[in-house]
Amino acid sequence: MNSFWENEIVKIAANFSVAVLCMVVFLAIFELVTKYKNWDEIKNGNVAVAMATGGKIFGIANIFRYAINHHESLLSVIGWGVYGFILLLVAYFIYEFLTPKFNIDEEISKDNRAVGLISMIISIGLSFVIGESIR
């Protein structure tokens, strides 16, 4: 059974499956903490929400890229991926706190593309910092 887990195809499938499952769970958590419904807004053509959500997707995937690249066991990959996601979630709350002149969620839900773009870039940029830190 040990050689089964050492097979490269099995490792790739396991890492992929875990990353996709975690992506779904993490996006559901983001859906809970935002004041808008991501997929309803995207369906209605809200580009700001699409950019912010795309940044979160890229950020989560990038964190898992680092976790997979630098950790051997699947459990370790999951642990570091979850930790990286928590840091990304904390960054979201800090971003909201540091913009007292307007509410990030309200602006994004109103399709303010400038806010959506900066949200996307923050998620992507911080995912590189988080990813490099969890190696």
Rounded CA separation 112/48 (Å):
6
User: What is the chain's alpha carbon radius of gyration, rounded to the nearest angstrom?
Assistant: 16
Question: How many domains are contained in the chain?
Answer: 1
pLDDT (average), residues 58-68: 96
Q: CA nearest 92: which of 56, 67, 61, 60?
A: 56
The full DSSP string for 80-119 is: HHHHHHHHHHHHHHHHHHT-TTS-HHHHHHTT-HHHHHHH
For tokens 């976790």, the residue is 67
pLDDT band for 72, please (50, 70, 90 cuts): confident
> What domain range includes position 119?
2-133
How many CB atoms neighbour CB 90 within 10 A? 12
Is 70 exceeded by the pLDDT of residue 5? no
Is 90 exceeded by the pLDDT of residue 6? no
C-beta of residue 52 within 8 angstroms of C-beta of residue 36: no
Chain mean pLDDT for the chain: 93
| Burial 26-55, CB ≥16 within 10 A → b, else e | bbeebeeebebebeebbeeebbbbbbbbbb
Give the pLDDT score at 3.
75
Give the pLDDT score at 56.
96
Is pLDDT larger for residue 35 or for residue 46? 46
For tokens 């399709």, the residue is 111
Give the pLDDT score at 48.
98
Question: What is the maximum alpha-carbon separation in the chain?
Answer: 58
Task: Give this prediction's pTM.
Answer: 0.90
